[in-house]
Amino acid sequence: MSPMASTPFSARGAVDLGALATAKQNQAKAEQALANAPAGVVIDVTTETFQAEVIDRSRQVPVVIDLWATWCGPCKQLSPILEKLAAEGGGRWVLAKVDVDAEQQIAAAFQVQSIPSVFAVIAGQPVPLFQGAYPEAQVRQIIDELLKVAAEQGVSGRIGVEDPAVGDDAAAAEPAEEAIDPRFEPAYAAIEEGDWDAAERAYRAVLDASPADADAEAGLALVRLYRRAESLPPVADPVAGDPTSLLAAADSAAIAGEWAAALGWGVDAVRATSGDEREAARARVLDYFLLAGDDPSVPAARRALAAALF
């Protein structure tokens, strides 16, 4: 779901191919930022608390809703970014996290089709923002525009600053920050610069030393995906039997975190090819497996890929 045309977020395009580090790096940064943030900037919301924590609170500050699930790979990339930005916001907006498996009524109310999905509520009114694992630079831009829109509607308060002691207690309760693996720092720096070649070299250097490193393999898959997406327009409806069209649509779905569609079209491309083209399509699907993690669509897609190959 791209931002709706009726909102100020419509001119954003499909995906900003900016900085995107790994979920581990994002989580470490989020924990560090939250340690010094006002209490209450990141909250877990249930059906019972939704009225007070989201609707009522949105009359004071914008509330951004992160609809996620524990099995969702892209959610693990996006949620720490949102948490970090909420902490940096210093109480100007609140991040409300909703586990869609546990809170199906909320997911149904927002007509969620895939996750992660992100909405905002301003003065009691919902605003669709985006769907999929957007990189930090684009999420930051969206939040900045959201705050401007909220201010225009008279919603420009701040929460949590009146009781710094609470923030100190929350910081004391934070788990120890996970150190960032220094082997990946060159790759992260290259990604932040949009230098895909340098990022690939950095990940390959890790693999030269540790050939079975899963994080480095996933990093390479991510770099390959974003390099392709940078030069191709998004494709929503592929031409049946056309492997080029199928793989372009699969990449578009992968960027949006729609793994069932990405894997399905990728396997279809394998079926529609032979020889070197089939091997290239198969490699593309294997990249999706690395990035999708434990998404529920992966086991069936693995079986379908095996059937397509043999």
Q: Which residues are known to be catalytic?
A: 72, 75
Phi, psi of 102 (to 5 degrees): -85, -30
Is-contact 260 234, C-beta < 8 A? no
Q: Parallel, antiparallel, or unpaired for β 63-68 and 42-44? A: unpaired
Measured distance CA(192)–CA(126) in Å, rounded = 32
Phi, psi of 189 (to 5 degrees): -65, -40
Give the residue from 127, 121, 148 showing the smallest Cα distance to 60. 121
- State the amino acid at position 291 in one-letter form: L
> Which two three-digit tokens encode residue 196?
């895909």
- What's the maximum distance between 2 C-alpha atoms anywhere in the chain? 66
CA–CA distance, 86 with 68 (Å, rounded to integer): 16
d(CA 23, CA 290): 13
**208 touches 57 (CB < 8 A):** no
Residues 30/61, Cβ–Cβ less than 8 Å: no
| Whole-Å CA distances, 11 to 7, 57, 142, 264 | 9, 28, 11, 29
